[in-house]
Amino acid sequence: MTQMNRRIVLASRPQGEVRTDNFRLEEAPLAELAQGRFRVRNLYLSIDPYMRGRMNDAKSYVEPQPLDEVMLGGAVGEVVETKHGGFAAGEKLTGMFGWQQYCDSDGAGVRKLEEARVPLTAYLGVAGMPGVTAWYGLNKIIAPREGQTIVVSAASGAVGSVVGQLAKLAGCRAVGIAGGTDKCRYVVEELGFDACVDYKAGNLYRDLKAATPDGVDGYFENVGGEVLDATLARMNPFGRIAVCGMIAGYDGQPVPLTQPSIILTMRLLVQGFIVTEHLDVWPEALATLVSHVAQKKLRYRESIVEGLERAPEALIGLLHGKNFGKQLVKIA
């Protein structure tokens, strides 16, 4: 009997907010494995904000997600069949395996995992792409110095949570911005931030001012909109802003700056970055992150839904801030 592969493809491009009917769950037969390749059975899928941008047919840093093809994304899986000398059955790997049960690969862009050091799921979050994103933006753009104040938006998320903890390890004052009292409590009490501002409380600028009495030296941006506006107004001269994401506008909402002149008057460095364009730093960053996780210096939280068919639901929830920590899908 031919083995089948369950997979989720992009059926249509969203007009505004993402809907479940933008996706299609389908089955397709697995072809015979070719020489020089191996087959991975996915265990966990990574759900990330960048996926929303790739669903649009628009100019960007990468080509759009093709219609009627498997949704692209990172995953952790196990080798179940191999005709490749460098990969053995049973090895655990991470790579861009996509929203599907099985994926064939030639090994390009694939990393073998040390399951004994940290849990497999951590390699999709704190010890994976989100962690490296946090490490790069903080160290290479913000370049924090001891005693400085570093602010990060979406502070309870997969990237923001790592930024603040790394800032604390560098001797800085870490201030988070998150949505809701539970997330803010987690950021302070479990992650060790010095303060966290609840943007849903209705007093964003006032509360941020109280949390940053000496102003802001570095800002890690994940959100945009009013959160960026409020933080810009607290920036110190020659402050640095690492722009990782603008999730407030991912569904097409306008996210204008109300006080752009602050960038000039405070002589700010504002730099966007795409972490996959800096592969040269990944080995250093990953070694540091894995070590910190293994030594319990970095804490993290995960939101896990079970079942491949729930991946669209997980992405929609992420885009609306319903996740708490790193969003994953466990393949049943």
Question: Residue range 286-314: average pLDDT?
Answer: 97
* pLDDT of 191: 98
DSSP class per residue in 195-251? EEEEGGGS-HHHHHHHH-TT-EEEEEESS-THHHHHHHTTEEEEEEEEE---GGGTT
CA dist list (Å): 315 to 48, 74, 99, 113, 158 = 7, 13, 12, 25, 14
Q: Is the residue at 14 inside a domain?
A: yes
pTM: 0.92
Is pLDDT at 64 greater than 90 in this prediction? yes
CATH number at residue 52: 3.90.180.10
Is pLDDT at 92 greater than 80 in this prediction? yes
How many structural domains does the chain have?
Answer: 2
> Could you tell me if 141 and 110 lie in one domain?
no
Find out whether 7 and 40 touch, Cβ atoms under 8 Å: no
Q: Is the residue at 291 inside a domain?
A: no
Q: Is the residue at 325 inside a domain?
A: yes
Query: Angle at which helices 129-136 and 282-294 pack, to 10 degrees?
Result: 110
**Structure confidence at residue 252 as a pLDDT band (50, 70, 90):** low
* pLDDT of 250: 65
> Could you tell me if 114 and 166 lie in one domain?
no
> Could you tell me if 137 and 263 lie in one domain?
yes
Question: Residue range 33-61: average pLDDT?
Answer: 93
> Could you tell me if 135 and 271 lie in one domain?
yes
CATH number at residue 185: 3.40.50.720
Q: Is the residue at 284 inside a domain?
A: no
> Could you tell me if 102 and 133 lie in one domain?
no
Who has greater pLDDT, 95 or 60?
A: 95
Q: Is the residue at 296 inside a domain?
A: no
- The domain in which residue 144 lies consists of 129-276
The fraction of the chain above a pLDDT of 70, given in percent, is: 98
Highest mean pLDDT among 58-62, 201-205, 322-326: 201-205
